[in-house]
Structure 1
Amino acid sequence: MTRRLLALCAIGGVLLSTGCAAIPEYTAPKPISTASGDTTRTSAPAGPQGGEDPANLVRNFIGASGKPEGSRAEARQYLVPPLDKSWDANRQLTVIEDNFNTQVTTDGGVGDTQTVTVRGRRIGQLGTDNAFVPGQEPLDLELPVKVAKQKDGQWRIQEPPAEILVARTDMDANYKQVRLAFFDPSGTSIVRDARYLPLRPNNTLPQRTMELLIGGPSAALRNAVRSALPGGVNLDTNVTEDNHGAMSVNLTGLNEVSKEDRQLVAAQVVLSLQSVSNNRIKLQSDGVSMIPDKQEWRPGDVSKYEHNFTLSPETNYLAVVNGAVRYLPGGEPFPGPAGSGELSVVTAAQSPKGDRLAVVARSGDNVALRVGAPTALRQVSLPAGELTRPTWRPEGPELWTVADHSTVMRVVESGGVWKPQRVSADELTKLGPVTDLRLSRDGIRIAAVVDGRLLVGSVVKEGETTAIRAVRQVAAGALPNVVGVDWWQADQMVVATGGTSGQVLRVQADGQSWERFQSTNLSPGFTAITAAPGRNIVVADRRGLWQSQGPDELWSQVSPSLPFDVVPFYPG
């Protein structure tokens, strides 16, 4: 017995040595404390319970496919031998709506082989960079899955779908959203880039997060943001926890990076790891402190780079009421010609700081754009039959609008004159008439309503040209007949859909998730919607203006004295 125990201990020592081979000898490795979830999963994969009919077998296989640990070990148990060993578990991951169904047909009257057809709706795919890519029309799927009865009478899958299908709730349960931190082009403000990592083993989440950060922005943001991490940077050692409870991140390839840029690197690393760990972070470059006078870091040390774009508490929001700009909720006139009613205002937008106003007003059979200080509006040379509600850039005197549903224009102040410039937006405008366009609060993304669909793109500088790139339809299956959109956060929108069954929804910028607001008190159809960070969402319906703090809250009326055809707007 003693010899057997000694032998087992020796084998265990070899295994432990092999498993830690990539971890540097000078660090005492420990499991890293993560922000949520268990750090281990010791139970064996469940697999088939026995006796499932073909339809339930395939449904349970799809459920098991949502568990990525062990190269989808649980899903493999649903496959016939030897396919259970050779099945490629790293192929395209397709996220589908939860209410998919399965239907069985017998092939040629032979009962030992059957085909199960999976019918459902695609939401999107998880890309090779772990970013979510929203599904595009057509979303309906119909995939055959062949099953065969085994010698023991149990059904197993003989020909699985070419895609790995995962229901949305299973993805939410088994994948963690990691919000990587990159910089806007000015290098002053963090932009979040959502990725999705398998939750388990979650003691490796910091390591995998760092690998994604080093890999750079996702395809949707690749040319819109920048990384302070230079090309060639890498992890010199694994991300580990030292004996004092600090997470050690040791980078290599920073020799030519200035101290100022190392501060930006530190911000990206610390803020990217924020969603997967509560530990202090020890940043190193080739084994020594990355910034000599700073040994350990917390998110508060780099908070100056995170702007939430929350409006000042003193800032009022406005609305166009009967052709004039009014303060809300009381309806008092806004100063200047826009508030007097003499301009016949159709829609308007106030700059983020509140010092400028942009007004679209009727001018004969067309409309005219006037911009400037509220008491000194100047007409812009931008002839059009229609203009969308203007939307302001967060920095500098610049706003955007869409002329005649087809031409995206930016209007920039130069020498006291507001000059229109065309935005390269063919990726967007070729998809149909643009009826609404909003710049995100950080100016990195746009949201647009195009032919009743919600589209998102990124703002890219290409030499002297500003362009909209990486245009994608989001939440296509959940958003029929979109009538309005606005940004609630830098990467979250609120959307109003049309018709008598219209709804208000919160939608994530990448389209991975959405949530419906309560409909109590509302009377669709909706005509306008506006939002701002830290403020109530305001929607206009056929009975007036209504506001809500979020999807779980009831709607309350802004003012019963306001008419129904108002256009509300926050600064921005």
Structure 2
Amino acid sequence: MSRSRLAAVLGLIALLLVGCATVPGSSDVSVLRRVGDPAEPSAPSGPARGAGPLEIVRGWILASGATAERHSAARAFLGPAAAGGWDDGASPTVVSDRVDTVFEQGNGQSEEAVVRIRADKLGTLRPDGAFVAAPGLVDLTVRLTATNGVWRISGLPPGTIVRRADLRANTRPVRIWFLAPVGGAPVSETRYLATSPARSVSSRVLDELLSGPSDDLRGAALSALPPGALLRSAVGTTPDGVTTVDLTRVGPVEALDAARRTEIAQQIVLTLAGVGVDRVALTVDGEPLLEGRGELGVADVLAGLPPSIRERRDLPGDGPATPAPAPSPAVVTTGGRVLTVPESAGTTTTRESSPDLVTGVDDARSASLSPDGRDVAVVGFENGVMRLFVGRSGAAVTPTTVVGRAVGQPSWSPDGTEVWTVVDGVPVRAVRGPDSSGTVTPVALDTTPLTGLGPPTALRLSPDGTKVALVSDGRVVIATVVRDPGGGARLGSVRVLRPGPVGEALGGVLDVAWAQTDRLVAVGTAPGLPVQTASVDGLELDSPTTTNLTPPVTAVAAASERPVLVVDQGGLWSLPASGGDVWSSVPGGSNSSVPSYPG
């Protein structure tokens, strides 16, 4: 792994050294620096005069994220031999904010000492900026030697240690855009981009795009850019503010069909939009990528996508030329009925006086509108049998052959052609027929990757349809959805989201929902943490306010820029998408309600 690419991942970290036996933690931060901020972090100063072994080790930890000049800030804490032999090129190990340092041998009174470093490991940061969750324990030792009373590290393991707070303060999560293998819809993946040097941010974010999807998206995303494609020169800017991107090793432009060129442009424009680039001029070896299109913006790219895709809330925010339609309302299943939950004037109430959203179901238990709000899937009873029903919103629904002792809340694919759920602990995929009757047919779903994880009790498809979140044995499991041109689908790579020690893990989960394509909300029985939000890569884990809630929390609904809805022992509650200090009661709900947003 090249050190130059590693240096492009982590920013310089400015921290003060402190004189206690634990590297101090800090509260979670929700606002990260903007790429291009004029104030850039600077490397910490070197060892303080008279610093003892513990202070030297803590200084090395705090400086190890400063990648400038081959980690020169961290090397200042090393003796000459160790500085020359230290392998700093390994992927950084990301740990929780608390890092303990204690004496393993010696106490600083002799000329030799060994200091033990212990911390909860969250994962590693790959050279391309992708975080790879790998929970565990960091437990290692470093050797120190005093020369003329000056302590320096004389022996240490390869690699660097970066606290989560330092990573968050000095990088920005940026979405890199790829394509769905079937249909070519935009698919994003989060990478962590250093905030400095700001002048090279556009080039660096395109380097991440050129590196292709990570293993976590294998089979669920691809790139129109051929392997080996590179930037021919650094990304530039014209006098009128247009960003210039010139590619090479793409092959002759005339050899690329129009669809391939359009897909390449889509990936580049959407990715650069995440770092504030408004207009892009694309060339390949100096020749225009798209004939007659000197420059492109996000609106131009989105205008070429089908309406069902370009209206997705996870896409960059310039939006299409015409305003997007008002979002469909949330629904709540309560008392056997399916009702809408309108949002108006900052208040949320169930529409108890309106007609039921569906008919033809005895004792409805859960429901979900299709992404466009036109259709509805409902789980309820027919002649004493729990069954999935599908039909038009506001009309009678049609029973399907999806039946079982326990059928979970339904979840729609982004295009509205599939309904996924869990039946008696087994994930089920039901495909809609070509007619207008609303009937769906269960289709075999290979769930082999879930073997050994325990039967899931809840399932939600991500807004872009590339992942599925399941609840299994109180844990959140993330699996990629791999599709083939013949219409088949299977579960790909599978991992438990944020396992680990209490306070650093997701546990006791009863329900989960996607707030965005890269963020989830989980609710359940965890002591003091009945509601938690987590990034899909497992790096971030936060807890909103619990004021007014009475755990356990049994159900949740979330969507981009929409209030979070949860159900506890007191009923249905709402928290604004922007956050807040208090959950607000939603009249008409009960402790058995099940809310949902379209999708």
Q: TM-score, normalised by structure 2?
A: 0.82
> Are 1:369 and 2:388 counterparts?
yes
Structure 2: unaligned runs, 5 residues or longer: 1-33, 314-323, 342-348
Are the equivalent residues in 2 in contact too, given 1:366–1:386 (CA < 8 A)? no
Are the equivalent residues in 2 in contact too, given 1:68–1:198 (CA < 8 A)? no
Deviation at 1:68, TM superposition (A): 1.7
SS in 2 for 1:571: coil
Residue of structure 2 in register with 1:386 after alignment = 406
Residue of structure 2 in register with 1:152 after alignment = 148
> Are 1:546 and 2:545 counterparts?
no
Residue of structure 2 in register with 1:498 after alignment = 525
Q: 1:337, 1:194 → 2: CA distance?
A: 37
Deviation at 1:418, TM superposition (A): 1.7
Segment drifting more, 214-223 vs 200-209? 200-209
Are the equivalent residues in 2 in contact too, given 1:321–1:565 (CA < 8 A)? yes
Q: 2:258, 2:371 → 1: CA distance?
A: 33
1:199 to 176, 184, 195: 195
1:309 to 279, 299, 312: 312
Residue of structure 1 in register with 2:339 after alignment = 326
SS in 1 for 2:573: strand
Q: Give matches, 1:174-185, under 5 Å.
A: 174-185=170-181
> Are 1:420 and 2:447 counterparts?
no
Kindly provide the CA deviation profile for residues 89-110 of structure 1, in whole angstroms up to 9, marking residues without a partner as x: 1102111110221111325998
Are the equivalent residues in 2 in contact too, given 1:95–1:124 (CA < 8 A)? yes
Deviation at 1:568, TM superposition (A): 1.0
Kindly provide the CA deviation profile for residues 2-55 of structure 1, in whole angstroms up to 9, marking residues without a partner as x: xxxxxxxxxxxxxxxxxxxxxxxxxxxxxxxx94234878x7762212322222
Q: 2:574, 2:310 → 1: CA distance?
A: 25
Residue of structure 1 in register with 2:418 after alignment = 398
Are the equivalent residues in 2 in contact too, given 1:517–1:550 (CA < 8 A)? no
Segment drifting more, 297-306 vs 419-428? 297-306
Segment drifting more, 400-409 vs 72-81? 400-409
> Are 1:528 and 2:555 counterparts?
yes
Q: 1:242, 1:314 → 2: CA distance?
A: 38
Deviation at 1:183, TM superposition (A): 2.0
2:166 to 151, 170, 176: 170
Instruction: Provide closer, same or farther for how the CA distance between residues 143 and 208 of structure 1 changes in structure 2, counting only shifts above 3 A.
Output: same
SS in 2 for 1:82: helix
Instruction: Provide closer, same or farther for how the CA distance between residues 568 and 260 of structure 1 changes in structure 2, counting only shifts above 3 A.
Output: same
Q: 2:163, 2:464 → 1: CA distance?
A: 32
Deviation at 1:182, TM superposition (A): 1.2
Residue of structure 1 in register with 2:118 after alignment = 119
- Work out which of the two has the higher radius of gyration on C-alpha atoms and give 1 or 2: 1
Q: 1:550, 1:113 → 2: CA distance?
A: 55
Q: 1:434, 1:318 → 2: CA distance?
A: 23
Are the equivalent residues in 1 in contact too, given 2:456–2:470 (CA < 8 A)? yes
The letter of the residue matching 1:144 is: T
Deviation at 1:279, TM superposition (A): 6.5
Deviation at 1:541, TM superposition (A): 0.8
Kindly provide the CA deviation profile for residues 68-122 of structure 1, in whole angstroms up to 9, marking residues without a partner as x: 2222111111112122123111102111110221111325998322222222211
Instruction: Provide closer, same or farther for how the CA distance between residues 90 and 185 of structure 1 changes in structure 2, counting only shifts above 3 A.
Output: same
Residue of structure 2 in register with 1:61 after alignment = 60
Q: Give matches, 1:416-455, under 5 Å.
A: 416=437, 417-455=439-477
Residue of structure 2 in register with 1:30 after alignment = none
2:376 to 353, 357, 381: 357
Deviation at 1:162, TM superposition (A): 4.1
Instruction: Provide closer, same or farther for how the CA distance between residues 120 and 232 of structure 1 changes in structure 2, counting only shifts above 3 A.
Output: closer
SS in 2 for 1:99: strand
Instruction: Provide closer, same or farther for how the CA distance between residues 153 and 279 of structure 1 changes in structure 2, counting only shifts above 3 A.
Output: farther
Are the equivalent residues in 2 in contact too, given 1:336–1:376 (CA < 8 A)? no
Segment drifting more, 543-552 vs 410-419? 410-419
The letter of the residue matching 1:320 is: T
Q: 1:203, 1:152 → 2: CA distance?
A: 43
Deviation at 1:168, TM superposition (A): 0.5
Kindly provide the CA deviation profile for residues 271-298 of structure 1, in whole angstroms up to 9, marking residues without a partner as x: 2122335474321121132223222333
Are the equivalent residues in 1 in contact too, given 2:279–2:297 (CA < 8 A)? yes
Q: TM-score, normalised by structure 1?
A: 0.85
Are the equivalent residues in 1 in contact too, given 2:467–2:481 (CA < 8 A)? yes
Q: 1:498, 1:413 → 2: CA distance?
A: 39
Q: 1:543, 1:338 → 2: CA distance?
A: 26
Segment drifting more, 389-398 vs 204-213? 204-213
Q: Give matches, 1:132-151, under 5 Å.
A: 132-136=131-135, 139-149=136-146, 151=147
Percentage of identical aligned residues? 31
SS in 1 for 2:296: coil
Instruction: Provide closer, same or farther for how the CA distance between residues 280 and 40 of structure 1 changes in structure 2, counting only shifts above 3 A.
Output: farther
Q: 1:163, 1:314 → 2: CA distance?
A: 48
Instruction: Provide closer, same or farther for how the CA distance between residues 238 and 488 of structure 1 changes in structure 2, counting only shifts above 3 A.
Output: same
Deviation at 1:434, TM superposition (A): 0.8
Are the equivalent residues in 2 in contact too, given 1:410–1:423 (CA < 8 A)? no
Q: Give matches, 1:81-96, under 5 Å.
A: 81-96=80-95
Deviation at 1:187, TM superposition (A): 4.8
SS in 1 for 2:433: strand
Kindly provide the CA deviation profile for residues 431-467 of structure 1, in whole angstroms up to 9, marking residues without a partner as x: 1221211001111111121211122222111464311
Segment drifting more, 515-524 vs 178-187? 178-187
> Are 1:36 and 2:36 counterparts?
yes
Q: Give matches, 1:457-476, under 5 Å.
A: 457-462=479-484, 464=486, 465-476=488-499
Residue of structure 1 in register with 2:8 after alignment = none
Residue of structure 1 in register with 2:20 after alignment = none
Are the equivalent residues in 2 in contact too, given 1:348–1:359 (CA < 8 A)? yes
Deviation at 1:308, TM superposition (A): 5.3
Kindly provide the CA deviation profile for residues 158-192 of structure 1, in whole angstroms up to 9, marking residues without a partner as x: 23244421100111223333321112235553222
Residue of structure 1 in register with 2:25 after alignment = none
Segment drifting more, 425-434 vs 487-496? 425-434
The letter of the residue matching 1:359 is: V
Residue of structure 2 in register with 1:235 after alignment = 231
Q: 1:401, 1:233 → 2: CA distance?
A: 40
The letter of the residue matching 1:238 is: A
Structure 1: unaligned runs, 5 residues or longer: 1-33
Kindly provide the CA deviation profile for residues 492-520 of structure 1, in whole angstroms up to 9, marking residues without a partner as x: 21221314523322222222223321122
Instruction: Provide closer, same or farther for how the CA distance between residues 140 and 551 of structure 1 changes in structure 2, counting only shifts above 3 A.
Output: farther
Deviation at 1:337, TM superposition (A): 9.1
SS in 1 for 2:162: strand
Q: 1:407, 1:187 → 2: CA distance?
A: 24
SS in 2 for 1:98: strand
SS in 1 for 2:556: strand
Are the equivalent residues in 2 in contact too, given 1:452–1:483 (CA < 8 A)? yes
SS in 2 for 1:301: helix
Are the equivalent residues in 1 in contact too, given 2:89–2:159 (CA < 8 A)? no
Segment drifting more, 183-192 vs 441-450? 183-192
Q: 2:570, 2:113 → 1: CA distance?
A: 56
Are the equivalent residues in 1 in contact too, given 2:133–2:538 (CA < 8 A)? yes
What is the number of residues matched between the two proteins? 534
